[in-house]
Structure 1
């Protein structure tokens, strides 16, 4: 290895060690895995954001006896020092680099699949969809997969409903310890972090438009409001829209909000939440950011077609000048702003999310013979065990039901 690569690997090792200090639940799982080796002989293919937190998940799976291969789930979220650390110090198969082309992205997915995985770990379902589209010869040896994101789960549930899903999936995203914390607190913090690092602007006083009020949108709106922004929410679901109103936010159509907003963030899981018509009415200086998994939520292609000129102002900021003379600023190429312009979720958040991934892999190995080709929730007892471990690591104790209380809750004869 070159001296430069070794230096990069050492930087990655230190940053991964720092993340590990803040991931106590995953550490406890790793300690058990090292003793029990529940994944011995299992091959795991992973398509995830290659970060320090992901490195600790990979180390946990290897501690459990698995052979792993990892590629990136986003071309701009890879931390090259982490790749160097895993390759040089941990001797793992990692196929990723920051800024890889679309062609390289899918070449790396194929290299991961070349190990013949028994379990797949996905963040956006690109690994699973590639298997179903091009590598169906691998399916006979696959026990199941785990999906991390809202967008990926939507894709996979559609596949299951149409009868084309070929192996069972655990929806890690739908675990309470995932969406309550990762999607809300993690996405909320990392989105604001990405915007501020990219732009160095003041959030307070801005009209901050959040497209989508699922768990991620709730988190973004909450964090923006906490920093003094005037938050506007865009929704198509009446229940979520009503919830946003009750949470104290203005709700309106995007066509109306487009004329008002200073900062726009998309977290919908759908394409073209902000389209050409919306962009055309935005005021000079409007900032567009996406934190949905795929780069389709803002119609970047039409934005480029509309613009008379474009130039890069800062590392993650491109200015597009429209025929009206108004300048629109796109962050992180319309990709995950919190992954690209910042360091993604804090380690404390990914501690729970990756604990789910590790325990879901163990669960699939034990139970795959009894599972159908459907999308499953993680068992509640696993979800609760992760929450208890997290509370314990924080030094927090909680009450338990007494026998009398349990009996009362299970009874139908005791009333007023």
Structure 2
């Protein structure tokens, strides 16, 4: 549910919302450099707003995905993706923001130096000014833009919160010794249950497998319908 709903429907919309709220820019004709490609950064929401873009990606599968779409708004989940050498070469007025991993994607420490001046121009918007007058526009001090400068749709928030609540209930009610101090995948059955609770919002109803179909697929007709590793 996190990847299928929050990442896919919430994050990719809120990056645009956050950019609009903080900068009030027009996207048409802007040059966009995208670092990494995935569900959070899928670009379908931006396919008609006229940006020119370049995608950088280390994973060949994600790179092919990027080539088959029109534009990307992105995150990587890594650290120091945008370093001082990149920032030094950016043109004046370039907007820099993060949708990835805390505030570590942009090397902010390299911008906290004596020769660079910071100027707060509006809430969540800083100009970092070079000695020659060049400036970059840094949003939310490099923190997650969708959480700092945008909003989360209540429907998506409900899915996320329900999933977390059921996970906590499972941890609390599980027999002693079932879970060690480790990271566990959420059972797919629980994910599917959370999704089923939200179908009524759309007045939607599931089709049920026949016994023959379930046997052919090798699954229960009541789920789970996907293996735990499925994303």
Same fold (TM over 0.5): yes
Give 5+ residue unaligned stretches, structure 2.
Answer: 220-231
Counterpart among 339, 346, 359 of residue 147 in structure 2: 339
| Cα offset, 1:368, TM superposition | 5.1
User: Could you say what secondary structure the match of 1:305 adopts?
Assistant: coil
Q: 1:228 to 1:396 in 2, by over 3 A?
A: farther
Tell whether the 8 Å contact from 2:79 to 2:101 is kept in structure 1 after alignment.
no
- Name segments (4+ residues, structure 1) moved above 6 Å: none
Deviations 1:134-181 (A, max 9, x none): xxxxxxxxxxxxxxxxxxxxxxxxxxxxxxxxxxxxxxxxxxx11111
Aligned length: 218
User: Could you say what secondary structure the match of 1:310 adopts?
Assistant: strand
The structure with more helix, counted as a fraction of residues: 1
Counterpart among 204, 224, 230 of residue 396 in structure 1: 204
Aligned to 1:289: 97
Give 5+ residue unaligned stretches, structure 1.
Answer: 1-176, 251-264, 412-416
Is 2:97 aligned against 1:275?
A: no
User: Could you say what secondary structure the match of 1:269 adopts?
Assistant: coil
User: Could you say what secondary structure the match of 2:174 adopts?
Assistant: helix
* Structure with greater contact order relative to length (CA < 8 Å, sep ≥ 6): 2
Distance in 2 between the 1:236 and 1:271 partners? Answer: 14
| Cα offset, 1:266, TM superposition | 5.8
Distance in 1 between the 2:145 and 2:193 partners? Answer: 32
Counterpart among 332, 349, 370 of residue 156 in structure 2: 349
Distance in 2 between the 1:247 and 1:184 partners? Answer: 14
User: Could you say what secondary structure the match of 1:375 adopts?
Assistant: coil
Aligned to 1:228: 50
Aligned to 1:244: 66
Counterpart among 153, 169, 179 of residue 362 in structure 1: 169
Tell whether the 8 Å contact from 2:47 to 2:70 is kept in structure 1 after alignment.
no
Distance in 1 between the 2:104 and 2:87 partners? Answer: 14
1:187-226 matched pairs, under 5 angstroms: 187-218=11-42, 221-226=43-48
Distance in 1 between the 2:9 and 2:214 partners? Answer: 32
Aligned to 2:123: 315
Greater CA deviation, 369-378 or 325-334? 369-378
| Cα offset, 1:223, TM superposition | 2.5
Tell whether the 8 Å contact from 2:18 to 2:146 is kept in structure 1 after alignment.
yes
| Cα offset, 1:226, TM superposition | 4.4
User: Could you say what secondary structure the match of 1:193 adopts?
Assistant: helix
Tell whether the 8 Å contact from 1:267 to 1:292 is kept in structure 2 after alignment.
yes
Deviations 1:60-82 (A, max 9, x none): xxxxxxxxxxxxxxxxxxxxxxx
| Cα offset, 1:324, TM superposition | 4.4
